[in-house]
């Protein structure tokens, strides 16, 4: 089966997602209608979405429906005449009582009506299935065109549908379904007849359209790499740019262009941003990674005069580079430090003040964090004071994504210390999942302070993220702080840092109440963070249930518990801890109770409890140096040695005895054993 929807140019950044969703929804519709089918092949180009599905059943299978009526005892009277219930049931089924069947079940015999429904032809059902699939596509805003009621992401100009060699009768989105497609807008504007679905791809290729998004992407990649090699360079091929360019053309043709080498005096990041974001060009680099005065563009035509196309692209890029060079030269005339007052006119958040206010808060917090880490406090504070100054430069005004990057260049030009220079860009790290972390001292303190200030301030005014809305990037900020503290690692108390950030808002907003909210929000991110590493959520919960506040320490505990779970003794000890917890809870001596854990040796009667008590005392001595060294994995491995003693204790000793003193002594033993495990985590939470 072939279904193709021909449109005006589709949004390039959404093409791949739309193609996948169309195929998935079409498959779902067929399945819901009990139409069996095989593999799906997706096609997507700027002016079309298409799907070919193998082995489609040409008709729904017949279906028997069974309706159960009244019980036989209630369906007939003593003379065998049908009751009102039987007559009403027969009437609702459209038959006489004599036409009803009987069904024997465990609960008795019932009147029933069996009806055989003949399956409909797939051809008859297809228009409605296609409409339903299109209606479920992830399109935020649909448009109308002409005077019809049809809605889609772009106006639809043709619909092609075939089941084998048979045309699909009917209409979709207000258009009659046909058997033709259309070729390249310029090379082959005429209709392209499709005799059978398996001829679809080759028919379009003959009309200068490569219908496969993946094959176009691959062709672009190969052509770009080949042209870059022709000038002894290599091309940068970011996935998102490659996807977008592949979605912009039907018949890609790569062309090599050149620009004036004098523009290379401008920072490479600026030129690359202009080429990739504005022009969709692929920059070319030499073997050292330096930008070369070449670019590669992808045309959507095979020009009879490619030099003319090349010259046009070179002419377009020249004024953009000239503007960038002007911004670069003008910005450097004013030092970053002299721009700080201008931040006062830029609003950070109307309830939280300007960027200058934020800069002052972050400077104080950076100095505090640097002191905790024994870093250079003056350098950390200086970095924070200059951090946002590049936001009021002409270059960042034009290229917002270069904030931080341009700050680094301008700070270096101003003669700032190397640590301050590095911090200008590192303040935004990590920018996304898997991104690198700041490596300089000032960069780490600034990245932490900036993110913590934003988190506390935005939570304090009641704008925490909800659903998919996160305008201030708080999820990214929370994960960024956790990653810096965990992966660097830095032994800092997160809640203390949040309190310090809240103090910076005194006189602005009441931020103290936000501290616990932000801390809890950040802890809620940890199961997902460790889940990406294959660590189960229950392992994270076993650690967080104890209320630790130092993320680097939390990390050691979580990894230790994850390793402990692999031990043979883990399941038994976890079950034993659950049992201990339940016993203490029933006795009124819960986990948080401040009870006497002193075990009186003379009160130990059974050999099993004496052996466990001795093991606990020996463990306490062995664990002390491990705990001081935060060797949590070593602690849990050592505690695993108690498994046999714990098993024998529960097999041979009655804890809740009627003897009050004996019961108290045994409870104290269990509590002291529990406390040894709680030095690392609450393993009773492991399943």
pLDDT tens track for 154-198: 999 999 999 999 999 999 999 999 999 999 999 999 999 999 999
415: left (phi over 0), alpha (psi -120 to 50) or beta: left
At residue 77, the 3 state secondary structure works out as coil
pTM score of the predicted model? 0.82
pLDDT tens track for 591-612: 434 456 678 888 788 888 899 9
CB neighbour class for 151 (10 Å; exposed up to 12, middle 13-18, buried from 19): middle
Closest C-alpha among 102, 95, 93, 98 to residue 71: 102
Higher-confidence position of 211 and 62: 211
Start-to-end C-alpha separation, the chain: 48
- Give the count of alpha carbons within 13 A of 32, CB side only: 13
Q: In the predicted model, what is the mean pLDDT of residues 476-503?
A: 97
At residue 480, the 3 state secondary structure works out as helix
Task: Examine the pLDDT at 314 and tell me if it is beyond 60.
Answer: yes
Task: Examine the pLDDT at 590 and tell me if it is beyond 50.
Answer: no
Higher-confidence position of 663 and 45: 45
CB neighbour class for 499 (10 Å; exposed up to 12, middle 13-18, buried from 19): middle
Q: What percent of the chain has pLDDT over 90?
A: 78
Would you list the domain boundaries of the chain? 2-59+121-206, 72-117, 213-322, 351-387+414-534, 559-685
Q: How far apart are CA 225 and CA 284, in angstroms?
A: 9
Mean pLDDT of the chain, nearest integer = 93
Q: In the predicted model, what is the mean pLDDT of residues 246-257?
A: 96
What are the φ and ψ backbone dihedral angles of 258, each rounded to 5 degrees?
-130, 150
pLDDT at residue 203 in the model: 97
Confidence at 51, pLDDT banded by 50, 70, 90: very high
What's the CATH class of domain 559-685? Answer: mainly alpha
CB neighbours (10 Å) of residue 556?
Answer: 20
């Amino acid at each position: 089966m072939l279904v193709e929807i021909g449109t005006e140019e589709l949004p390039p950044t959404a093409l791949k997602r739309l193609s996948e969703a169309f195929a998935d929804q079409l498959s779902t519709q067929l399945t819901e209608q009990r139409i069996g089918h095989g593999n799906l092949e997706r096609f997507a180009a700027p002016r079309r979405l298409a799907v070919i599905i193998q082995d489609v059943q040409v008709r729904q299978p017949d279906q028997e429906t069974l309706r159960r009526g009244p019980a036989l005892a209630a369906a007939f009277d003593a003379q065998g005449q049908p009751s009102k219930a039987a007559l009403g049931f027969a009437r609702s089924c459209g038959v006489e009582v004599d036409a009803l069947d009987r069904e024997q079940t465990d609960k008795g015999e019932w009147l029933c009506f069996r009806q055989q429904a003949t399956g409909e032809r797939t051809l008859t059902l297809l228009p409605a299935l296609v409409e339903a699939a299109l209606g479920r596509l992830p399109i935020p805003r649909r448009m109308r065109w002409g005077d019809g009621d049809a809605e889609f992401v772009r106006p639809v100009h043709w619909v092609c549908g075939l089941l084998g060699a048979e045309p699909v009768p009917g209409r979709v989105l207000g258009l009659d379904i046909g058997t033709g497609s259309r070729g390249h807008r310029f090379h082959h504007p005429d209709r392209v007849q499709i005799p059978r679905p398996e001829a679809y791809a080759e028919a379009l290729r003959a009309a200068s359209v490569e219908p496969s998004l993946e094959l176009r992407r691959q062709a672009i990649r190969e052509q770009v790499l080949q042209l870059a090699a022709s000038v002894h360079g290599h091309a940068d091929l970011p996935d998102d740019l490659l996807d977008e360019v592949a979605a912009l053309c039907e018949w890609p043709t790569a062309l090599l262009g050149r620009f004036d080498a004098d523009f290379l005096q401008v920072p490479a990041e600026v030129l690359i941003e202009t080429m990739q974001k504005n022009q969709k060009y692929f920059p070319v680099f030499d073997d050292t990674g330096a930008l070369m005065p070449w670019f590669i563009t992808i045309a959507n035509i095979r020009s009879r005069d490619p030099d003319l196309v090349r010259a046009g692209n070179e002419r377009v890029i020249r004024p953009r580079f000239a503007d960038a060079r002007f911004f670069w030269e003008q910005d450097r005339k004013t030092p970053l430090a002299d721009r700080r007052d201008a931040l006062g006119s830029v609003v950070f958040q109307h309830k939280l003040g300007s960027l200058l206010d934020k800069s002052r808060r972050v400077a104080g917090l950076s100095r505090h964090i640097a002191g905790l880490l024994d870093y250079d406090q003056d350098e950390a504070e200086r970095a924070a004071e200059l951090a946002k100054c590049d936001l009021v430069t002409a270059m960042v005004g034009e290229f917002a994504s270069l904030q931080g990057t341009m700050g680094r260049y301008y700070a270096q030009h101003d003669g700032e210390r190397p640590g301050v220079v590095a911090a200008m860009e590192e303040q935004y790290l990590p920018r996304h999942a898997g991104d690198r972390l700041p490596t300089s001292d000032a960069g780490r303190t600034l990245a932490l302070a900036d993110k913590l200030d934003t988190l506390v301030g935005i939570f304090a005014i009641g704008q925490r993220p909800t659903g998919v809305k996160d305008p201030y990037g708080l999820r990214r900020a929370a994960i960024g702080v956790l990653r810096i503290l965990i992966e660097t690692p830095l032994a800092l108390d997160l809640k203390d840092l949040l309190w310090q950030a809240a103090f910076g808002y005194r006189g602005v907003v009441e931020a103290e109440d936000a501290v616990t909210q932000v801390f809890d929000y950040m802890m809620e991110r940890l199961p997902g963070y460790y889940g990406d590493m294959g660590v189960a959520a229950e392992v994270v919960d076993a650690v967080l249930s104890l209320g630790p506040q130092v993320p680097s320490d939390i990390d050691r505990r979580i990894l230790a518990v994850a390793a402990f779970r692999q031990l043979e003794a883990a399941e038994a000890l976890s079950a034993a801890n659950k049992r201990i917890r339940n016993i203490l809870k029933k006795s009124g001596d819960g986990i948080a109770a401040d009870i006497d854990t002193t075990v009186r040796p003379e009160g130990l009667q059974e050999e099993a409890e004496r052996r466990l008590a001795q093991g606990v005392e020996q463990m306490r001595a062995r664990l002390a140096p491990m705990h001081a060294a935060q060797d949590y994995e070593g602690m849990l491995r050592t505690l695993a040695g108690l498994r046999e003693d714990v098993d024998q204790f529960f097999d041979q000793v009655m804890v809740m005895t009627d003897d009050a003193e004996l019961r108290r002594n045994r409870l104290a033993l269990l509590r002291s054993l529990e406390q040894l495990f709680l030095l690392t985590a609450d393993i009773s939470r492991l399943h």
